């Protein structure tokens, strides 16, 4: 099942995507009591918003072997986690705006886990019961600031640096999903989540050992090899099998 958040007639609505048609819901799809309405809209007639409004975004660094190698880093024994600001989130189609054009700003295609229920101290056995679904994310990263600061908050939290969407898909196998990123049609990243060092269940266990996750929160699971710079005028497209395409133009501020 694919779920969306969208704007129509100046109001924010939630829906279930059925082919090219959105069936409106009477509330947020994350709420178990939400029901379907009779109202439908052609997908082409609405403006899609980021499918969730996370309160927290936990990101995982160096979670693919080849990416750790290309960054010249050792493979972390435990998931390397950090937080990025939820205010950086934008939707499919919105522009990634680069304020520091002299810096190297990289794309990072990532599968994002969307939390469905309040989650703390999960086990491998119950972890997936707390997941609502999965979406595409771009962990846009200012490499100059990342090196200068020695940590990631500033480098990865600029407004517009976290494209998310376009849908939340509930029915994929998150540990076996092809993930690809193109810039202006040229393939830069092409991998599969079966190459994750720490799989989806392990990430949920390790993150919730530490913190409580709430519905709509995101875990960004790390990026495969092939990260590279973006510049104004580029069109960046992330495609994850079973979810769809997240497309964002790049421009200067």
| Positions that interact with Mg ion (CB under 5 A) | 108, 139, 223
What phi and psi, each to the nearest 5 degrees, are found at residue 217? -65, 155
Contact (CB, 8 A) for 164 and 90 = yes
How is residue 176 annotated by DSSP? S
Note every long-range contact of 205-208, with CB atoms under 8 Å and residues 24 or more positions apart, other chains counting: 205/122, 205/123, 205/124, 205/127, 206/78, 206/79, 206/81, 207/58, 207/79, 207/81, 208/119, 208/120, 208/121, 208/122, 208/130
The residue (of 94 and 108) whose beta carbon lies closer to Mg ion is: 108
The residue (of 108 and 169) whose beta carbon lies closer to Mg ion is: 108
The residue (of 22 and 240) whose beta carbon lies closer to Mg ion is: 240
Q: In the bound complex, what is the minimum distance in angstroms from residue 202's beta carbon to Mg ion? A: 17
Taking alpha carbons only, the member of 222, 239, 137 closest to residue 183 is 239
Q: In the bound complex, what is the minimum distance in angstroms from residue 108's beta carbon to Mg ion? A: 4
Contact (CB, 8 A) for 174 and 114 = no
Taking alpha carbons only, the member of 199, 189, 200 closest to residue 224 is 189
Q: Which residue is nearest to Mg ion (CB)?
A: 139
The residue (of 25 and 203) whose beta carbon lies closer to Mg ion is: 203
Q: Are strands 218-220 and 57-61 parallel, antiparallel or unpaired?
A: parallel
Computed over its alpha carbons, how large is the radius of gyration of the chain? Answer: 17
The residue (of 71 and 170) whose beta carbon lies closer to Mg ion is: 71
The residue (of 63 and 182) whose beta carbon lies closer to Mg ion is: 63
Cis peptide before 37 (omega within 30 of 0): no
Q: In the bound complex, what is the minimum distance in angstroms from residue 110's beta carbon to Mg ion? A: 6
User: Two tokens at 227?
Assistant: 């990260």
The residue (of 94 and 139) whose beta carbon lies closer to Mg ion is: 139
Q: In the bound complex, what is the minimum distance in angstroms from residue 49's beta carbon to Mg ion? A: 23
Q: In the bound complex, what is the minimum distance in angstroms from residue 227's beta carbon to Mg ion? A: 8
Q: In the bound complex, what is the minimum distance in angstroms from residue 57's beta carbon to Mg ion? A: 11
Task: Report d(CA 120, CA 206) in Å as an integer.
Answer: 10
- Beta carbons within 10 angstroms of residue 9's beta carbon: 7
Q: In the bound complex, what is the minimum distance in angstroms from residue 126's beta carbon to Mg ion? A: 26
């Amino acid at each position: 099942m694919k779920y969306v958040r969208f704007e129509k007639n100046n109001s924010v609505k939630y829906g279930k995507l059925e082919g090219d048609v959105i069936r409106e819901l009477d509330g947020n799809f994350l709420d178990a009591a939400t029901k379907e309405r009779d109202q439908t809209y052609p997908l082409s007639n609405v403006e899609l918003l980021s499918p969730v409004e996370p309160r927290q975004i936990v990101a995982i660094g160096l979670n693919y072997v080849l990416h750790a190698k290309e960054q010249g880093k050792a493979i972390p024994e435990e998931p390397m986690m950090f937080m990025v600001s939820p205010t950086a989130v934008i939707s499919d189609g919105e522009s990634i705006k680069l304020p520091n054009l002299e810096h190297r700003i990289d794309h990072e295609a990532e599968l994002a886990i969307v939390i469905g229920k309040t989650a703390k101290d999960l086990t491998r056995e119950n972890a997936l019961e707390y997941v609502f679904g999965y979406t595409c994310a771009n962990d846009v990263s200012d490499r100059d600031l990342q090196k200068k600061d020695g940590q990631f908050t500033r480098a990865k939290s600029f407004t517009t640096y976290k494209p998310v969407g376009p849908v939340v898909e509930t029915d994929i196998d998150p540990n076996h999903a092809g993930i690809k990123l193109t810039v202006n049609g040229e393939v830069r990243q092409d991998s599969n989540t079966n190459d994750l060092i720490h799989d989806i269940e392990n990430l949920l266990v390790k993150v919730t050992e530490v913190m409580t996750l709430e519905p709509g929160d995101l875990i960004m699971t790390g990026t495969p090899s092939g990260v590279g710079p973006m510049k104004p005028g580029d069109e960046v497209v992330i495609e994850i099998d079973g979810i769809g395409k997240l497309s964002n133009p790049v421009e200067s501020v």
